[in-house]
């Protein structure tokens, strides 16, 4: 029995060593084939570029003989053409290597294996490199103070706390350049969630009385009283300001880093949730109460907005043209002021 086990172990080791050797030979063979392929491509690319350079030099010499350019100008153009040829050779070889890295192992029956999965090769489409990108995306974060403009009252006489009422906004936006040759005017649009909080002054809460919503005194001492309206909106702006431009032979890009900008526009959407949150003490117990109700708020919301800033940070203001509460409630319109961050 021991003899059989020993023979089996030896056989397993021999097979394992053989497989490892074959694997090493396969890797080495692949490296040699890749090296030969690149050397052949370099030779072909160099010959192509030399032919183009030769034709360019002949044109320069022809212009020189006809007296169209001076001898100094001809030498200058020849040096420039030689430098361009060398750059083209380097670029084309880099492109060949990059395409080899991005290539897939195509198997039979129109499929290939990648990371242990099987895919249909007919669905593969390599995205071409875009010379000019006109649209860029940003993540939007905003926060600040919130309040409401009421008929017959100023912000100083508001029913809501100036420092306690706040707003928050999170979303994604896209910037599209409007003109072909410059990036001074951009069309900005996206999708955002706005959280508008209002904290009543005094020991008061919102009460739903049929078609009307009023602020009434609460019997217990309130530690917190606020109402939150969550809006899902589509903001649209025209953004103005200078930008940085980077242009090469292969691409052109614009960005607004460390540049002044101003945006003017508005938004429209829907009020998707309303919640009143109360915190108070009752019989020695702390009570946290959340009331989810419409409170006669308008479902459709729209307004004006604008920002002015530098780089990613801006001073931001928005104002609802739609009243917070439906008629016959007194008209109140939400207004917000704070900071906005556009991260791209």
The reported pLDDT for the residue numbered 119 is 44
Task: Pick 230 or 153 by higher pLDDT.
Answer: 230
Task: Pick 10 or 316 by higher pLDDT.
Answer: 316
Residue 79 CA to its chain's centroid (Å): 43
Cα separation, 97 vs 41, whole angstroms? 10
Q: What mean pLDDT do residues 158-182 have?
A: 92
The reported pLDDT for the residue numbered 80 is 85
- Does position 344 have pLDDT exceeding 80, yes or no? no
Taking the chain, what is the end-to-end CA distance rounded to the nearest angstrom?
A: 71
- Does position 113 have pLDDT exceeding 70, yes or no? no
- Name the DSSP class of 229: E
Residue 329 CA to its chain's centroid (Å): 41
- Does position 133 have pLDDT exceeding 60, yes or no? yes
Contacts of 107 (CB under 8 A, 6+ apart): 113
Q: What is the pTM of this model?
A: 0.62
Average pLDDT, the chain: 83
Label residue 25 by pLDDT band (50, 70, 90): low
The reported pLDDT for the residue numbered 225 is 94
β-pairing verdict for 332-343 and 185-198? unpaired
Label residue 105 by pLDDT band (50, 70, 90): very low
Kindly report, residue by residue over 242-270, the tens digit of the pLDDT.
Answer: 999 888 777 788 888 899 999 999 999 99
How many residues in the chain?
A: 344
- Nearest CA to 298 among 274, 324, 321? 324
Q: Rounded to whole angstroms, what are the CA distances from 235 to 96, 193, 208, 320? A: 44, 10, 30, 12
DSSP SS3 for 328? coil
């Amino acid at each position: 029995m021991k003899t059989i086990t020993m023979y089996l172990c030896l056989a397993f080791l021999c097979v394992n060593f053989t497989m490892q050797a074959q694997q090493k030979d396969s890797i080495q063979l692949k490296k040699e084939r890749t090296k030969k392929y690149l050397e052949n491509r370099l030779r072909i690319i160099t010959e192509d570029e030399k032919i183009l350079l030769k034709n360019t030099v002949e044109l320069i010499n022809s212009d020189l003989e006809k007296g169209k350019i001076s001898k100094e100008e001809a030498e200058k153009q020849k040096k420039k053409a030689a430098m361009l040829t060398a750059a083209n050779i380097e670029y084309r070889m880099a492109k060949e290597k990059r395409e080899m890295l991005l290539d897939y192992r195509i198997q039979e029956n129109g499929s290939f294996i990648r990371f242990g999965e099987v895919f249909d090769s007919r669905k593969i489409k390599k995205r071409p490199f875009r010379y000019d990108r006109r649209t860029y995306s940003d993540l939007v974060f905003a926060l600040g103070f919130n309040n409401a403009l009421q008929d017959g009252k100023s912000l100083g006489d508001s029913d809501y706390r100036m420092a306690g009422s706040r707003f928050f906004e999170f979303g994604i936006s896209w910037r599209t350049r409007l003109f072909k040759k410059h990036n001074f005017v951009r069309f900005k649009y996206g999708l955002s969630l706005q959280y508008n909080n209002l904290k009543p002054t005094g020991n008061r809460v919102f009460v739903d009385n049929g078609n009307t919503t009023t602020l009434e005194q609460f019997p217990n001492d309130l530690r917190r009283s606020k109402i939150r309206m969550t809006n899902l909106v589509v903001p649209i702006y025209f953004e103005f300001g200078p930008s940085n431009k980077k242009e090469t032979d292969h691409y052109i890009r614009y960005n607004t880093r460390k540049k002044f900008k101003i945006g003017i526009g508005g938004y429209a959407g829907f009020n998707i949730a309303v919640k009143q949150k109360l915190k108070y003490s009752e019989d020695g117990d702390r009570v946290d109460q959340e009331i989810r109700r419409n409170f006669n708020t308008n479902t459709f919301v729209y307004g004006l907005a604008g920002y002015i800033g530098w780089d990613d940070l801006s001073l931001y203001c928005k104002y609802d043209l739609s009243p917070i509460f439906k008629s016959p409630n007194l008209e109140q319109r939400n207004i917000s002021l704070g900071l906005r961050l556009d991260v791209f």
